Amino acid sequence: MECNIAAGIETRKAAPSDLAQRIIAQTSKGYHGPAILMLEDGTVFYGRACGASGTATGEVCFNTSLEGYFEVLTDPSYAGQIVTMTYPQIGNYGIDPADVQSAYPGSPERGASTPALRGMVVHDMCPTPSNWRSAISLPEYLKHAGIVAIEGVDTRALVRHLRDNGAQKGIISTEVFALAELAQLLEQAPSLVGENLVRTVSCGEPHPYTAADLPANHAFASAPAPEQAHYRVVAYDCGIKRGILEGLVRVGCELTVVPWDTPAEDVLAKHPDGVFLSNGPGDPDAVEETYSQVEKLIGKVPLFGICLGHQMISLACGAEMEKLKFGHRGGNQPVMNLISHRVEITAQNHGFGLVFPSLGALVPELSGGVSEHPADGDLRFWVERGVAPVVENERFGRIRLTHVNLNDGTAEGIQLLDQPAFSVQYHPEAAPGPTDAHYLFTAFTRLMDGDADYLNIDIAKDRLAGWVFATE
């Protein structure tokens, strides 16, 4: 149920009678107390509690994935956010702890496996999962983890509101229902813009991650790592997902994971074959301690960045970032690969994006003869022409646009042509999501091998390389 106090309209359902509460309590669903969601613009949604009791504030966003709610829930990139799942029923296949994405040692602020997000919004929460791998139901997990959640919300109306008006601060509560008091609490909550959330999700000390750390529970589906690692890689942990660590290990990398603010000199002293820059939450402009180190690493060692790591490389090159209206979150984002001219269906989770023209002026002879960036900023201009444009960057030479989001024409990937570095805005680890972008892990190994054509990979063939198929 929804109301808008700014318009002076408020409607709410009457509380169930004692008899109705007793009847509901005898069902598999069970009776749960009321909950409320208020947005920064005054829009209010009423529902039922389906997680921990309490009050939580954060930026309200939405994820369009049909599955993978547990991977979303435990993704450190959601720090500071209240996540709305657009699929109508959430929790129907339960939770296997082996799928957790944030269980790494050395995070003093939040512990090893506590979800970083602030809250969850769903239409219908399933309390009785059916799945051979399930060890606990989603609502039970939320209660144990202390995550406030609300169900019974018209998530279609909420998502349309966010698409029309943009992502904004919100507050969920199972204990405060006075709208004026909620509005006051919400006003006092910090904004996502300008806040460094990476420091809250990064590891505290360097630690290894090798083939021995791969979860045995995934062996039935995932191909094993090489018996002998071929590359020594230092991975900056800005909120890294375990699925990404697994993807790197499975292509032959032996990892040393380091905190987000590790000096470049300390990284180079380890003599790595490559450096990986991870995903992470929040405003990239607020993570200066990382991108200032990346600027020192470019040209010294091969670099690969994903999501926030892509933004760190871009900022190190002097680029500008923009806050997207409602971001990209889900496992169904179409991206055009301007190198292979194939469309990749990708998994994404970010609210900020690279302003590609800010990297430099176009090089016409390498950009299909075009000398000016499209006036409206829509990079589908290059998709229509089948051109991967190149700019001249003041710091690091030529930089090529390699990937474009087909939904809104934003930048999704770049390649430094005069330095060994590349990055993408989306996630190749398929946790959750499709496997179209698996080739990016292989591309990183080819870059470390010195292959100048490292991005020229048969995507369709490579995407199958990481999986085990049953044989009779």
Structure tokens at 164: 């029309």
243 annotated as ligand-binding: no
356 annotated as ligand-binding: no
Q: Is 427 a catalytic residue?
A: yes
Burial call 272-310: b when 16+ CB within 10 Å, e when fewer: bbbbbbbbbbbbbbbbeebbebbbebbeebbbbbbbbbb
Q: Is-contact 418 397, C-beta < 8 A? A: yes
349 annotated as ligand-binding: yes
Catalytic residue, candidates 40, 71, 246, 429: 429
77 annotated as ligand-binding: yes
Structure tokens at 336: 């055009």
179 annotated as ligand-binding: no
How many residues can be counted in the chain?
472
Please name the residue that has the structure tokens 């900023």. 377
Pairing between β-strand 320-337 and β-strand 274-277 as defined by DSSP bridges:
unpaired
- Angle of CA points 82, 86, 88, to nearest 5°: 120
282 annotated as ligand-binding: yes
Catalytic residue, candidates 123, 161, 373, 427: 427
Tell me 339's DSSP state.
Answer: T
305 annotated as ligand-binding: no
DSSP 281-329: -S-GGG-HHHHHHHHHHTTTS-EEEETHHHHHHHHHTT-EEEEEEEEEE
450 annotated as ligand-binding: no
Name which of 334, 294, 297 is nearest 311 in CA terms: 294
Catalytic residue, candidates 307, 317, 328, 403: 307
**Binding site: residue ranges?**
77, 280, 282, 308, 311, 349, 351-352
What amino acid positions are annotated as catalytic residues? Answer: 307, 427, 429
**Binding site for L-glutamine: residue ranges?**
77, 280, 282, 308, 311, 349, 351-352
